[in-house]
Structure 1
Amino acid sequence: MTAPETRTAPDGGSALVLRHAPGAPQAAVLLLHGGRADGLTAPTWLNLPGRRMRPFASAVRRAARPHPLLVAEVRYRHRGWNGPRGDAARDARRALDELRDLTAPELPVVLVGHSMGGRAALRVAGDPRVAGVVALAPWIPAGEPVEQLDGRTLLVLHDERDRITEARRSWAYLARARAAGAHGAGIVMSEGRHAMLRDAGAWHRLTGLGAAAALGLAALPEPLRAAADGPGDGRTTAAEVLAALDHPHPGRTGP
């Protein structure tokens, strides 16, 4: 992997950190880590939520092989969402603008966001280049908009024992987004709670698969395809999807 490279935005503060930038990428993945409801201080150099997203970057690249991907992270100016300010979403939009300046205009992008980063990813999914969102244990307060997901791929992963964000809100949001035109599915994770540490390999693998499939670079296993295309609630379990991956049947490429 190439060394991290920070791009500086015109206002002197970069919202984008490149983690892997091949010479001719076919698509881009933008990672958005978690944060707090409120917090106006800047993240520290340690930034544990940001470090937690690094394995997801590797997983997405593995799932998309042999197709080269540009992988980048959003750099937040503040730790929190901060109410109507929506700081994380504002920084996500800035990062998408910076990414647009670095790549071909038609390069598709998938957003992978955890917790507050999941909320930010969903908010900015209406950007014309965004092909889809993978939301990991997302923070979704009541009344979050869904219209921007029309025509996009949406994959939501949540452990129903999560005590920080509520899986029931994720499933309600998924249902609303599907009704609004999103091609969406949910994966009920058996372990991991909010930090996604237990059974981390399953979180990484399924996220990589979902992101690559949203970009049309990988095939969806049958349980996930059926959940996304079927008339039900759009949910399946991690165990079902992983079993299908380990014992594959002929499938199609893309969502």
Structure 2
Amino acid sequence: MTLRTTGTGSDQRSDLHWDLRWDATPATPRAVVLVLHGGQENSTAANSWWRVPVWWLAPFAWTARRAGRDLAVARLRYGVRGWNGTQASPLADTREALDAVAARYPGVPVALVGHSMGGRVALRLLGDERVRLVVGLAPWVESADVSAHRYDAHPGARLLVLHGLTDRTTSPSASRRVVEAMTAAGGDASYVGLERDGHPLAMRRRTLDRLLVAELRHTLRGVPLEDQRLDVAERRALEPGALARL
């Protein structure tokens, strides 16, 4: 049975609560992987597990489970569908969900895996010391966030961005610039541009899944990259400071 946690997040209306579904709940996990879905620029309509941006991320959570039985895995559904300007609705929901994760597993580091708008949320939380790893999947990068240093990371954070190079919804080049800036500031970041893949990241799923599992195992569990099922190019793509095309 899937376990659930709910909360009110950015909006106190009971019908707009966020919802956390736990896909893996080991008693003493090494880390928690929290999967964040995409959404719209503006919408305060109630969200649902049956909306495409939400259920689209379920397979990524299942992939994360392959990284190790000692990893807890959860999916967050935001209360509303949009970012909504300065309200930043999903960011407030995710911060509250992180509090719930910390209450369940005190002191356990968290990896955020976010697609599109969920990637923007994850990038905004690079400075949260509970977050050990951010994996941005075709993230929504805002230049205003960059100029305001809202993506600044704490010293122990790691960032991996995977972006389809034919994406016309969010910008692969903007994602690359975020990684370049974090690396230039002395941070641990890597960028992988996926050839022949677009915003849904559906065309290169085998490659993406290998990279995601390897990253989770390496950063959260300490498994060396050379001991994983990666070819030479894939292994180099996950090295700190890498700017790769696969």
Q: Please, what TM-score do these two structures have when normalized by structure 1? A: 0.82
Q: Is the 8 A contact 2:20 2:77 kept in 1?
A: yes
Residue number in structure 2 paired with 1:113:
114
1:17 Cα deviation after fit: 1.9
* Partner residue, 2:244: 236
Q: Report the equivalent of 2:53.
A: 49
Assess if the C-alpha contact under 8 Å between 2:39 and 2:83 holds in 1: yes
Equivalences for 1:19-58 in 2 at 5 Å? 19-58=23-62
Contact 1:56/1:208, CA 8 A, preserved across alignment: no
CA contact (8 A) 1:92 1:124 kept: no
**1:122-178 deviations in whole A, cap 9, x for unaligned?**
111222221110000000010322323543111000111100001010011111122
Instruction: Structure 1 unaligned segments of length 5 or more: list them.
Output: 239-255
For 2:24, the aligned partner's letter is H
Shift of 1:224: 5.8
Where do residues 193-204 of structure 1 align in structure 2 (5 Å cutoff)?
Answer: 193-204=198-209
- Secondary structure at 2:35's aligned position in 1? strand
Once the two structures are aligned, what percentage of the paired residues are identical? 35
1:8 equivalent among 2, 6, 16: 6
Match of 1:215, SS state, is: helix
Change (3 A) 1:30 1:52: same
Contact 1:147 1:180 in 2 (8 A): no
The 2-side partners of 1:185 and 1:176 are apart by 11
Cα distance between partner residues in 1 of 2:214 and 2:22: 21
Q: Is the CA contact 1:110–1:214 (under 8 Å) kept in the aligned structure 2?
A: no
**Is contact 1:25-1:68 (8 Å) kept?**
yes
**What SS does structure 2 have at the residue aligned with 1:147?**
coil
User: C-alpha distance in 1, partners of 2:42/2:213?
Assistant: 30
1:148 partner SS = coil
Please state how far the C-alpha of 1:208 moved relative to its aligned partner.
Answer: 2.0
1:110 touches 1:131 (CA, 8 Å); kept in 2? Answer: yes
Q: Which residue does 2:218 correspond to in 1? A: 213
Q: Secondary structure at the match of 1:17?
A: strand
Structure 1: how far apart are the matches of 2:18 and 2:164? 33
Q: 1:118, 1:211 → 2: CA distance?
A: 16
Moved over 4 A (4+): 221-230
Partners of 1:109 and 1:76 lie apart in 2 by 18
TM-align CA RMSD: 2.1
Match of 1:179 among 173, 176, 184: 184
Structure-2 separation of matches of 1:151 and 1:79: 31
Alignment partners' CA distance in 2, 1:137 and 1:180: 22
User: CA–CA distance in 1 between the matches of 2:75 and 2:116?
Assistant: 15
Gaps of 5+ in 2: 227-231
Q: Give the corresponding residue for 1:251.
A: none
CA offsets 1:202-231 (integer angstroms, 9 cap, x no match): 22221222222221343225656655656x
Letter in 2 for 1:143: A
Partner SS for 2:103: helix
Partner of 1:136: 137
Counterpart-to-counterpart distance in 2, 1:133 and 1:72: 15
Count of aligned pairs: 231
Letter in 2 for 1:123: R
8 Å contact 1:159–1:190 — kept in the other structure? yes
| 8 A Cα contact 1:6 1:14, kept in partner | no
